[in-house]
Homo-oligomer: A and B are copies of this chain.
């Protein structure tokens, strides 16, 4: 890695619309395109540094607290890896082992875990209207704590998936596309099919498709969102994507046929989710603790899903794509027909063909998270990278 690569970054930062320092990273649509590009560039530089055995450790101590309100493998390890790479120690906030049950408020807990904390990563994707709200609430508590002198620093929040967006996923996906197709420029005008796919499970979050349609439109991709009638996303996010498409002179359309979306697509992202109205009902049943109602809803929803079991990404549908070889994408784990379930989102042969590519896609996530951490904690991340390069500490002796 040469200094010139960093220099390019440094100079490219000037005159850019970048205000990530001291800000939480909750939703990509709150960030400017320049800010998103900075995250991608930082992520790539951190990846290169590590590959060349240059340690990007920029903290001598400090905690990176993770709060997982849902199961996770990839994101958990990505967060831990990112924190460790920069020198922060992960401390998991396990709500079962804490005194939250004793009546702590979010406001209080947010401060109690933050006295020596630089970053808080939160996954809260289970209930519509909850995850993002919770992160904002934590953020306000941290603002107050910092302003009143409770906290010597204001920890930055990284959204590790909420009900609205999954920015570490969508940006990792975008970085994958950038590398696969050569540049962000090359992505312009390419067609991506973000489509619902059949799964025998129920209650999958909407944040991945919402994150994809709102992000890809901004980078000039022509987005086709496909789902069976009634399986729509949160209406505001669909409108957001439509607005971005207009702003960036590209297409965004909603269709109700997987085939139509796949037709001539350059990349396809077939992934199951629960319809917005089901998620709304589920959230209110959960709030009222209506176990019977939940069982009935699950049963009804699975029956409804079954009517669309042909929404599977199989070889026949892949043939409809550009030259029959669109890039298959997935956030993993996929429901693979005949592997993880009888019938699922993707046929076994299709998944197998693209499997390694989906692993590479996932491999960008630790660096995207590390970039978000750095951009939040350092006013001039390029200068920090420069200092790290000059320091020449090896990651492995």
Contacts and interface: CB of A to CB of B under 8 A. Distances in A.
A60 interface: yes
Contacts of A71: 97-99, 101-102
Contact of A356 (B86, B90, B109, B148): B148
Contacts of A180: none
B395 A103 contact: no
A333 B102 contact: yes
Interface in A81-95: 81, 84-87, 89-91, 93
Contact of A84 (B61, B103, B108, B359): B61
A126 interface: no
A308 B151 CA distance: 36
A77 B93 CA distance: 9
Contacts of A90: 89, 91
A295 to B, nearest CB: 19
Interface stretch (A50-58, A131-139, A205-213): A50-58
Contact of A105 (B55, B149, B340, B341): B340
B50 A116 contact: yes
A150 interface: yes
A396 to B, nearest CB: 6
A302 interface: no
Interface in A134-169: 144-145, 148-152
Nearest to A152: B51
Contact of A104 (B51, B73, B76, B378): B73
A80 B91 contact: yes
A78 interface: yes
Given A115-B81, A377-B396, A397-B384, A103 B335 contact: yes
B148 A104 contact: no
Contact of A397 (B77, B336, B387): B387
B76 A115 contact: no
A150 B360 contact: yes
A112 to B, nearest CB: 5
A74 interface: yes
A333 B61 contact: no
Given A62-B395, A104-B340, A145-B359, A99 B72 contact: yes
A149 B360 contact: yes
Contacts of A93: 73, 77
A103 B333 contact: yes
A73 B100 contact: yes
Nearest to A88: B84
A40 interface: no
A340 B102 CA distance: 8
A359 B111 contact: yes
A395 B59 contact: yes
Nearest to A85: B61
Contacts of A85: 61, 116
A339 interface: yes
A129 to B, nearest CB: 22
Contact of A112 (B61, B144, B362): B362
Given A81-B116, A387-B397, 19 more contacts: A55-B60, A60-B394, A61-B86, A63-B81, A71-B97, A72-B97, A73-B98, A74-B99, A74-B112, A77-B93, A77-B112, A77-B117, A78-B115, A80-B91, A103-B339, A108-B359, A115-B362, A118-B396, A378-B397
* A-B complex: 4 closest residue pairs judged by Cβ atoms: A103-B340, A81-B116, A58-B397, A73-B98
24 contacts: A55-B60, A57-B60, A63-B84, A71-B99, A71-B102, A73-B99, A73-B112, A73-B113, A76-B98, A77-B113, A77-B115, A84-B91, A89-B90, A99-B333, A102-B333, A104-B333, A104-B340, A105-B339, A108-B332, A112-B332, A112-B362, A145-B359, A149-B360, A150-B356
